Amino acid sequence: MEPADRLLEVTGLSVEFAVRGATVRAVNDLTYHLGEGETVAILGESGSGKSVAAQAVMGILDTPPARVTAGSVRLRGAELLGLPERRRREFRGDRIAMVFQDALTALNPVFTVGDQICEMFQVHRGMRRRAARAEAAALMERVRIPSAARRLSDHPHQFSGGMRQRIMIAMALALEPDVLIADEPTTALDVTVQAQIMRLLASLRDELRMGLVLITHDLGVVAGVADRIVVMYAGSVAEQAPARALYTRPAHPYTAGLLASVPRLDRPAGPLTPIKGAPPDPAALPPGCPFHPRCPRAEAVCAAERPPLVTVAPGHAAACHFAVEQHGAREVRDGQ
């Protein structure tokens, strides 16, 4: 993808938190790009830095204790980092929007959902209340909420979890942004509703030709939606690749471990293989590769030197000392 075709470019993004005298490096040198009509999934366990990175892109981190220490975030070529807050607000909602993880806490329980959606049109578009309500009802219909016009007067607690998530999506799409960031949009929903929400996001992405960034810990959720996947571990990129390549030929042991821990219909039934141990404390990362204490393939060099992000195939890179060797061996086996 040529730079001119990119909606969003995140380059070398690093975020730190000052917590009780310690420095927590939550995001380290994150780089990815997003094109029109494309979906990029940012994936990893809790604490990997994926949500902090999304909030940094949106410009909604509390500063302090958070601080963006390096990097660039460009939306259609316009640099967002360093903009005055007033200018940043002009981009939020209008050009780049976010669906938050917990719809029940993200929505204001005091106001009706109609009032909360209408606010987007009234503040950003200067619409009068009647016109804003008509647009809000049309949006709720667009995200498949039955009896939309009548339900404008309902409060968030009167909706199911799946319906609340649809309302959050409607609010995020109100101004038809170029980029939508969805942070764990299917958390706490049953698998049927998860599938509905993912189909809805994909349909709206195609309809509006927007770029979609999906933040998730679940490889299964994004399998049929993502074009490219960025796997994060301990605040850094462990692997990034086109979705099909990552699922079929993972080059990083962490990615392989995540895939091995997910049930699959194309394999015989049997016990899953969990990743042993727990993610490291971001305030006290181990030396060398941050994954080496949990890695079944770790050698002495892994504890001594931090691996660079190396290319193993076109568009496919992994931060592992043995990524090229392991990926190459796997391709040979696949070709036999």
Query: How far is residue 24 CA from its own chain's centroid?
Result: 21
Contact 319/291 with Cβ under 8 angstroms? no
Dmax (CA) of the chain: 68
Per-residue model confidence (pLDDT) at position 255? 94
Between CA 133 and CA 138 the distance in angstroms is 9
Per-residue model confidence (pLDDT) at position 186? 81
Phi, psi at 19, each rounded to 5°? -130, 115
Strands (E) located in 250-292? none
The strand pairing partners of 218, in sequence order, are: none
148 CB contacts (<8 Å, ≥6 apart)?
A: 137, 138, 140, 141
pLDDT digits (tens, 9 = 90+) for 182-219: 998 887 678 888 888 888 899 999 988 999 999 998 88
CA distances from 163 to 108, 115, 157, 208, 318 (A): 15, 16, 10, 21, 38
185: which DSSP letter?
Answer: T
Between CA 189 and CA 300 the distance in angstroms is 43
H/E stretch holding 11: strand 6-19
pLDDT digits (tens, 9 = 90+) for 113-140: 999 999 989 988 889 999 999 999 999 9
Per-residue pLDDT at 16 exceeds 50: yes
Between 152 and 5, whose confidence is greater?
152
Using alpha carbons only, give the angle 31, 32, 35 rounded to the nearest 5 degrees.
155
Per-residue pLDDT at 332 exceeds 60: no
Three-state SS for 228? Answer: strand
Between CA 283 and CA 326 the distance in angstroms is 30
**pTM for the full predicted model:** 0.89
The strand pairing partners of 239, in sequence order, are: 231, 318
pLDDT digits (tens, 9 = 90+) for 62-75: 888 999 999 999 99
The strand pairing partners of 25, in sequence order, are: 16
The structure tokens listed for 16 are 């730190």
C-beta neighbour count of 284 within 10 angstroms:
8
Among candidate residues 142, 152, 214, the one with its CA nearest the CA of residue 173: 142
Query: Rg for the chain (alpha carbons), in Å?
Result: 21
Among candidate residues 160, 229, 217, the one with its CA nearest the CA of residue 192: 160
In which band, very low, low, confident or very high, does the pLDDT at 262 lie, cut at 50, 70 and 90? confident
Between CA 297 and CA 293 the distance in angstroms is 10
Between 39 and 273, whose confidence is greater?
39
C-alpha atoms less than 13 angstroms from C-alpha of 20 in its C-beta half-sphere: 1
Q: Encode 35-100 in three state secondary structure.
A: ECCCEEEEECCCCCCHHHHHHHHHCCCCCCCEEEEEEEEEECCEECCCCCHHHHHHHECCCEEEEC
218 CB contacts (<8 Å, ≥6 apart)?
A: 43, 186, 262
Q: Which domains does the chain have, with CATH numbers?
A: 1-233 (3.40.50.300), 237-266+286-336 (no CATH)
Contact 156/103 with Cβ under 8 angstroms? yes
